[in-house]
C-alpha cells in the first residue's frame, strides 16, 4: 500500500539534510503512513502546482494557503497549521472544499501568557524610561515611579477568553489584579468560574487599566481596537497585544499614544512584520516592542512540530483530529469520531 503524501514548503534556511532528517519530528507520527514532499515555491501559483496531488499540507509560515491553492488541491483531506493562529489559511475556502484544518491551540499557551504578563509589568513599572534614566539621570527615576499606582487592585481586561487569556488571568490574579473578560463565544458561567468578571466590550474598554488582547484575527476582530476603542479607554490605560497585529489599527494606536488618549502599549505583534525602520512606535518611550516572540522557548518549536504531525496523522488514519478549526466540515467527511483512552489501558479494558 502506497503512503500518503504530505506537502510542506521548503524552509527558508534548509540545511544540508535529507527530508527525513529535516522533518524528523513531524515524521515521528507520520512515518508509518506518509512521506514528506517538499514544495519549492516563491509565489502562490508555484505552491498550488506543487501541492496539487498531496493528501495533506503542513504549514506554519511562508505562503498563505488561499483560494488559489485550495482550488488546486485534488486529494488533500487535511491542512495542519503549526500554530494557534490560523490566519495563514483561508478557512472558508477549505471548509467549502471539505478539507479539515487543524491547529495546535494548547502547545505554548503558558509561554504567551508569561510574555503578556511581562509586557504588562514592563509598562506598569515604566521599564523603557527606567533603562534610560539608569544611564542618564539616576535620581530622576524614583520621583517618576512615585507617581505610578501600584499594580495591586488595578483592573486587567481580557479581549477574548481562550487558553492564553485564562493563563494570563491566573498570573494577573496572583499580582492582586481584578480581571474582566469580554468574549461572546464563552458563557458567563465559564468566565465567572475562573474568578473573572464577564463584561461587554464597551465596559471592558472603559473600566480596564490594562487591556490584553487574545483573540484570533478574522473579519470580526480586524481593527477591533481602532480610534473609537481608544477614545473609550482611560487616559492612564495600557494596551497589550500578543495575539495578531491587525487586531489593532496601528495608525489609530500611534495617534492615541501621541495625543495622550491612552498611556502606553506593550506589543509583540504589529500590522506589518517586520515593521519599517521608521515606524513611530520605535521612538515612543511609552511603548515596549518585541519581535513576535511570545511563544518562543526551547520547547515550543519541537513540540509544535510533533503535535501538528500527530494531528495530520489522525486524519490520514481516518479519525477526527484533536483540534479542528472548522468543525462544521466534520459531518461531511469520512472520518471516525474517536474517544481517547489512558495509555496504560487497552480500548477493551
Give residue 229's pLDDT.
Answer: 98
Euclidean distance between CA atoms 285 and 188, whole angstroms: 37
Contact of 181 with 158, CB cutoff 8 Å: yes
Query: 51: part of which helix (H) or strand (E)?
Result: helix 44-51
The pLDDT of residue 120 is 98
pLDDT of res. 285: 93
CB burial readout 262-273, b (16+ within 10 A) else e: bbbbbbbbbbee
Nearest by Cα to 3 from 69, 72, 54, 78: 54
pLDDT of residue 42: 85
CA–CA gap between residue 154 and residue 23 (Å, rounded): 46
Which residue numbers are catalytic?
244, 273, 292
Q: Is 215 helix (H, G, I), strand (E, B) or coil?
A: coil
Question: pTM of the predicted model, to two decimals?
Answer: 0.85
CA distance 234 to 263: 8
Go through the domains of the chain in sequence order and give each one's CATH number: 4-107+298-332 (3.40.50.720), 109-289 (3.40.50.720)
Per-residue pLDDT of the chain (349 residues; tens, 9 = 90+): 578 999 998 765 556 778 888 889 999 999 999 999 998 888 889 899 999 999 999 998 778 899 999 999 999 999 999 988 888 899 999 999 999 999 998 888 999 999 999 999 999 999 999 999 999 999 999 999 999 999 999 999 999 999 999 999 999 999 999 999 999 999 999 999 999 999 999 999 999 999 999 999 989 999 999 999 999 999 999 999 999 999 999 999 999 999 999 999 999 999 999 999 999 999 999 999 999 999 999 988 899 999 999 999 999 999 999 999 999 999 888 888 866 555 444 444 3
Amino acid at each position: 500500500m502506497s503512503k500518503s503524501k504530505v506537502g510542506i514548503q521548503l524552509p527558508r534556511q534548509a540545511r544540508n539534510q535529507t527530508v527525513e532528517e529535516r522533518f524528523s519530528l513531524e515524521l515521528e507520527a507520520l512515518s508509518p503512513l506518509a512521506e514528506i514532499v517538499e514544495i519549492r515555491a516563491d509565489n502562490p501559483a508555484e505552491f498550488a502546482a506543487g501541492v496539487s496531488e498531496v493528501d495533506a499540507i503542513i504549514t506554519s509560515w511562508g505562503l498563505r494557503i488561499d483560494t488559489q491553492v485550495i482550488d488546486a488541491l485534488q486529494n488533500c483531506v487535511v491542512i495542519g497549521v503549526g500554530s494557534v493562529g490560523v490566519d495563514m489559511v483561508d478557512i472558508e475556502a477549505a471548509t467549502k472544499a471539505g478539507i479539515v484544518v487543524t491547529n495546535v491551540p494548547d502547545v505554548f499557551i503558558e509561554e504567551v501568557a508569561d510574555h503578556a504578563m511581562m509586557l504588562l509589568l514592563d509598562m506598569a513599572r515604566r521599564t523603557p524610561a527606567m533603562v534610560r534614566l539608569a544611564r542618564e539621570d539616576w535620581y530622576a527615576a524614583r520621583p517618576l515611579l512615585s507617581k505610578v499606582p501600584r499594580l495591586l487592585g488595578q483592573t486587567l481586561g481580557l479581549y477574548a477568553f481562550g487558553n492564553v487569556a485564562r493563563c494570563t488571568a491566573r498570573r494577573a490574579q496572583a499580582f492582586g489584579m481584578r480581571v474582566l473578560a469580554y468574549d461572546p463565544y464563552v458563557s458567563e458561567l465559564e468566565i465567572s468560574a475562573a474568578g473573572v468578571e464577564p463584561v461587554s466590550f464597551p465596559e471592558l474598554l472603559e473600566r480596564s487599566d490594562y487591556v490584553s488582547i487574545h483573540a484570533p484575527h478574522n473579519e470580526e476582530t480586524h481593527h477591533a481596537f481602532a480610534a473609537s476603542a481608544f477614545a473609550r479607554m482611560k487616559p492612564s490605560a495600557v494596551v497589550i497585544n500578543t495575539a495578531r497585529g491587525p487586531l489593532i489599527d496601528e495608525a489609530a494606536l500611534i495617534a492615541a499614544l501621541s495625543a495622550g488618549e491612552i498611556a502606553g502599549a506593550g506589543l509583540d505583534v504589529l500590522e506589518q512584520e517586520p515593521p519599517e525602520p521608521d515606524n513611530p512606535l520605535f521612538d515612543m518611550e511609552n511603548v515596549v516592542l518585541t519581535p513576535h516572540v511570545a511563544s518562543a522557548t526551547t520547547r515550543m518549536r519541537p513540540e509544535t512540530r510533533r503535535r501538528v504531525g500527530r494531528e495530520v496523522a489522525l486524519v490520514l488514519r481516518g479519525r477526527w483530529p484533536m483540534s479542528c478549526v472548522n468543525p462544521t466540515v466534520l459531518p461531511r467527511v469520512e472520518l471516525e469520531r474517536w474517544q481517547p483512552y489512558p495509555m496504560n489501558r487497552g480500548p477493551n479494558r
